[in-house]
Structure 1
């Protein structure tokens, strides 16, 4: 008898579910219909809704609903009609990351400054003005001798040269020389005639140039100017390591410059890098 009673309850609930599924589209169809509410089809839909409500309120269906509720509370097996599908979703392994393109290692030799046999000799104090006169007409970057006294034509010691890239940067290079040996030596410890920039990109650039000069204290002024000219596109050049303009850390453009030797038959070049990018 218990099995027959349980089977009858399941049959009643299944019938209720089936009738509910059939009547799901009744409200939208009633709203979209242009027929008056007194039409036979609409009256039939309302009659079905009324009969379903009466059936749900009947004692037999209410008893079946209470029995189903009590059974669900007593059963802790987490039964779910979509259990297999949800379990399959939970157990699905995460999708692997897309394969990254292989970046071959650069086998060319690199250095902070070019190492060539035809490098010009170190500039002397009396040659500085002539070098600037030859440099300015052939470069978009400009050089000017800075003096504390406006209009003075005498080269100071230390000598200060202002390097300008229009709409990009202005920097000052301080060089000292001895009367007995007038070779210009770039200084990194002396204070420049201007205050430090408030912008992180120029602070990073100053630190990078200072590191390079500390590693190569006898580098010529001409080599330093060739390096400085490469910063003309500092805000648009992409890092050759990560191929981004701004670094992921600090959002600074590539202020590092690495000299790469191309080989015997061609010239080398400066490559921009971020300070945080690995040197391949």
Structure 2
């Protein structure tokens, strides 16, 4: 007859419990190694002072500290540590799954009153004025401009605009044009803008980049102007071009024509009406297309009655 002590029980010698204890010890040992390695960077940057602190902190040669890091990496890659980490992760996911409530929690918070339906005694909600878009080009119904018709188009353009000249920048004017190419757009005694023009075969020419300079600045087109006003003008023109990358060259040149009176135009914002902005003291270099462009007269701001680009200071456009 078997004795009572021979009866198998769920004691500390069960295989499941021994395996669990082994995993816990493995994780505890790797955690101790990790804490030791975490102190190494601080000791390298600021070594402990001589005394009791030096005795408590890790002390050793640089080679020994690097060896500790290597030992930690090897331990983490070992099969026992990886198995323990996987078991710990599975246990964590099981605990999280057991804590999920299927019944939604009842909210007792009072709902905020909608701004669309304010109380009778409350003041009206302030709604800031939305900034006007700066990327809207007019619809261009003209025939697309191809590379083979560029030279003739520029001749007609220059004849129609006496103060404005556009020509292709090239070392050999008799050489056949090919894309991409560089155009020099200049307004007499005002500014010069270099335009990088490209376009796939059989498609309209488009402007990919623009850089503005003072009319007498002698700088390469891939640099930037020394004057803030032309740096800001470059930012505004590039912003409009990049907002609608497929806009044809004709539309971009029409936009640049609006800068002919850059230093004498007033800002179209009614609360401003200045030539130079208050903040940066620059002319209105931003542009917004309007089907009924407004102009300043002696009586104030009035509708011009015709489509055009309205000038704004960049700060006035953002208000």
Deviations 1:51-70 (A, max 9, x none): xxxxxxxxxxxxxxxxxxxx
Equivalent pair of 2:292/2:307 in contact (CA under 8 Å):
yes
Aligned match of 1:277? 316
Unaligned runs of 5+ in 1: 1-105
Take 1:213 and 1:175, find their aligned partners in 2: how far apart are those partners? 12
Aligned match of 1:202? 230
Aligned match of 2:194? 172
Take 2:285 and 2:277, find their aligned partners in 1: how far apart are those partners? 10
Post-superposition offset of 1:227: 0.9
Select which of 245, 253, 268 maps to 1:240: 268
The residue correspondences of 1:204-219 to structure 2 (distance < 5 A) are: 204-219=232-247
Select which of 166, 181, 185 maps to 1:143: 166
Equivalent pair of 2:166/2:183 in contact (CA under 8 Å):
yes
Post-superposition offset of 1:182: 4.6
Aligned match of 1:228? 256
Calculate the TM-score normalised by the size of structure 1: 0.54
Runs of 4+, deviation exceeding 6 Å: none
Select which of 169, 188, 209 maps to 2:209: 188
The residue correspondences of 1:1-280 to structure 2 (distance < 5 A) are: 112-116=135-139, 119-139=141-161, 140-147=163-170, 149-178=171-200, 180-188=201-209, 193-241=221-269, 242-262=272-292, 267-278=306-317
Deviations 1:143-195 (A, max 9, x none): 11111x243432132111110101000111111133x33531221399x7353
Equivalent pair of 2:197/2:206 in contact (CA under 8 Å):
yes
Take 1:159 and 1:146, find their aligned partners in 2: how far apart are those partners? 8
Take 1:256 and 1:112, find their aligned partners in 2: how far apart are those partners? 11
Change (3 A) 1:279 1:259: farther
Q: Say which SS state the counterpart of residue 224 (structure 1) adopts.
A: helix
Calculate the TM-score normalised by the size of structure 2: 0.48
Equivalent pair of 1:176/1:187 in contact (CA under 8 Å):
yes
Q: Say which SS state the counterpart of residue 239 (structure 2) adopts.
A: helix
Post-superposition offset of 1:230: 0.9
How many residues in Structure 1 have an aligned counterpart in Structure 2? Answer: 168
Change (3 A) 1:239 1:189: closer
Q: Compute the RMSD of aligned alpha carbons.
A: 2.7
Take 2:274 and 2:147, find their aligned partners in 1: how far apart are those partners? 41
Unaligned runs of 5+ in 2: 1-128, 212-219, 294-304
Equivalent pair of 1:238/1:254 in contact (CA under 8 Å):
yes
Change (3 A) 1:268 1:126: same
Equivalent pair of 1:121/1:220 in contact (CA under 8 Å):
no
Q: Which has the higher contact order (CA 8 A, sep 6+)?
A: 1
Equivalent pair of 1:110/1:261 in contact (CA under 8 Å):
no
